[in-house]
Structure formats: structure tokens, C-alpha cells
């Protein structure tokens, strides 16, 4: 066994704890780490990040399921639109020049992070145990955009659905987090199967360490989420993701426009 990338394991544990506790996708922190620190091409970084996230989110979703925190009806209602978006996103991922892909990643994650920080500052939190399904149906177009974004940038499904479930569906914050993790896990499985069998762009020498870490971190994150303040979860992750978005925009713009 090659231990070159052993240090990915503790990083993966940390990311999975943070992501599963807050309802965000871990890939948003994995793919820049793979790209900038390990030096992987952006395509491999996105694909390996999503593969890692698939395992981590599935681990967290299983724990949330046992804790009865997931609004399965809401997630399954939005899933078909997410799948349609994934098909579009995969086409974009395969055909778009990689520097433009890096720029898109930066804009998407930066915008989503800024929105979450704004919601945290305004103290916008849900309170219901079950979603407002009638209201959620009006926003299925956003689920399609989220699916497309996740397929081509590794970011979108959890980040867009967490505020969607909480703000439009009126779902309590921690239940919105859990439901966002669940629908992200389902979306990630679809994307990873395509990357695995069609594009074949997943780095297994790295995945073995990242996957092991997120299996552990996903369980811990779901358990500690009930003990952490909602505002703290949104703020910490929002700041980290906003910084990553700015870095991506700067590096991509430097290559494309200067």
C-alpha cells in the first residue's frame, strides 16, 4: 500500500465533521485541497472530491436517518429535478475549458457562502418539523440548477437545498441540514458512478485515505450537530467557503484575463 497521501486522512475527518454538522457539501473543501495542495488537475480534483463526498455524505445521512432527522418526503420530491440538472452539469463538466470551470467554481461557492453568511447575520432559521411541501414545489427549478452546479463544480446540491428547506420549506435548521445531507448523498452517488465508469478520472490512491476519513467524520458530524449553535455552524463554514471562492476566482481570472 502506498502511504504517500496519508495526511489526507486527518483532513478528511475534519472536513466531514464540519460538512455533515452544518449541511454543506464536503467537496467544496476537498477539491481545492486536491487542486492547490496536491496539485491535481481541476477535473480530477472535482471528481475525487465528489467521490469522497459521496462516502462522507452517505455516512452522515445514515446517521441522520437513525436519528430520524431527515424529511424524506421533501428530499425525494426534489430529487427528480436534481437528476435532470446533473445530466446538464455533466455535459458542461466534460466540454467546458478547465480555467473557465475553475472560475465557475469560484463564483458558485463564493455566492453561496456569502448568502449563508447573510442568513446567519439576519438570524433566519426554520422552526417546523415537517416541510411546507406546497411551497417547496414552486422551487424545483432551483433543485435542477443545484444538480447542474454539483455535477460540474462539486458544489450546489447541499448548499442550495439547506436554505431552500429552511427558508422556503420552513424546516427547522438541524432538520434542514440533515435533509440537505441526504439529498446531496443521493446526487453524489449518481455523479460518482458517471465519473467512475465513464470519465474514469477518480484518483484512488488519494480516495482510499479521504474515504476512510469521511466515513468516520460523517458519523461524528451528525452526532455533534445537535450540540452546536445553528448560527455558529453557518458562520464558520460560510467564512471558509467564501475564502475558497475568492481564491478560485482570483487564480482563474489571472489566467483568463491577464
Q: State which residues form the domain around 209.
A: 8-257
Residue 3 falls within a domain, yes or no? no
pLDDT tens per residue, range 94-103: 898 878 887 8
Q: Angle at which helices 72-95 and 173-194 pack, to 10 degrees?
A: 40
Residue 1 falls within a domain, yes or no? no
pLDDT tens per residue, range 116-175: 788 778 777 778 888 999 999 999 999 999 999 889 888 889 888 988 998 899 998 889
pLDDT tens per residue, range 43-96: 899 899 999 999 988 988 998 999 999 999 999 999 999 999 999 999 998 898
Residue 123 falls within a domain, yes or no? yes
pLDDT score at 258: 81
Three-state DSSP at 34 gives helix
Residue 54 falls within a domain, yes or no? yes
- Tell me which residue of 87, 19, 30, 31 sits closest to 58, measured CA to CA: 19
Report the C-alpha gap between 95 and 102 in whole angstroms: 13
Q: Could you tell me if 171 and 74 are in contact, meaning their C-beta atoms sit under 8 angstroms apart?
A: yes
Residue 35 falls within a domain, yes or no? yes
pLDDT score at 119: 79
Residue 124 falls within a domain, yes or no? yes
Residue 216 falls within a domain, yes or no? yes
DSSP-H helix ranges across the chain: 8-22, 27-32, 42-66, 72-95, 98-121, 133-137, 140-153, 157-163, 173-194, 204-224, 230-257
Residue 74 has which C-alpha cell?
A: 421533501
- Structural domain count of the chain: 1
Residue 39 falls within a domain, yes or no? yes
- Tell me which residue of 99, 92, 96 sits closest to 194, measured CA to CA: 92
Decide if pLDDT at 29 tops 90.
no
Amino acid at each position: 500500500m502506498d502511504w504517500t497521501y496519508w495526511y489526507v486522512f486527518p483532513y478528511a475527518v475534519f472536513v466531514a465533521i464540519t460538512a455533515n454538522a452544518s449541511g454543506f457539501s464536503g467537496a467544496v473543501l476537498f477539491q481545492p485541497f486536491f487542486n492547490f495542495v496536491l496539485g491535481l488537475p481541476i477535473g480530477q480534483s472535482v471528481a475525487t472530491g465528489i467521490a469522497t463526498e459521496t462516502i462522507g455524505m452517505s455516512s452522515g445521512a445514515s446517521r441522520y436517518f437513525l436519528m430520524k432527522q431527515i424529511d424524506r418526503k421533501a428530499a425525494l420530491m426534489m430529487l427528480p429535478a436534481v437528476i435532470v440538472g446533473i445530466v446538464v452539469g455533466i455535459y458542461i463538466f466534460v466540454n467546458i475549458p478547465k480555467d473557465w470551470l475553475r472560475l465557475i467554481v469560484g463564483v458558485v461557492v463564493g455566492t453561496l457562502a456569502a448568502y449563508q453568511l447573510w442568513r446567519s447575520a439576519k438570524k433566519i432559521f426554520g422552526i417546523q418539523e415537517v416541510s411546507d411541501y406546497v411551497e417547496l414545489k414552486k422551487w424545483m427549478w432551483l433543485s435542477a440548477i443545484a444538480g447542474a452546479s454539483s455535477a460540474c463544480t462539486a458544489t450546489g446540491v447541499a448548499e442550495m437545498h439547506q436554505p431552500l428547506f429552511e427558508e422556503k420549506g420552513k424546516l427547522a435548521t438541524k432538520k434542514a441540514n440533515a435533509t440537505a445531507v441526504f439529498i446531496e448523498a443521493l446526487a453524489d452517488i449518481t455523479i460518482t458512478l458517471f465519473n467512475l465508469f465513464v470519465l474514469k478520472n477518480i484518483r484512488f490512491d488519494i480516495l482510499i485515505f479521504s474515504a476512510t476519513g469521511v466515513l468516520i467524520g460523517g458519523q461524528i458530524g451528525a452526532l455533534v450537530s445537535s450540540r452546536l449553535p445553528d448560527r455558529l455552524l453557518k458562520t464558520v463554514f460560510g467564512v471558509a467557503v467564501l475564502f475558497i471562492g475568492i481564491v478560485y476566482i482570483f487564480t482563474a481570472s489571472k489566467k483568463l484575463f491577464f
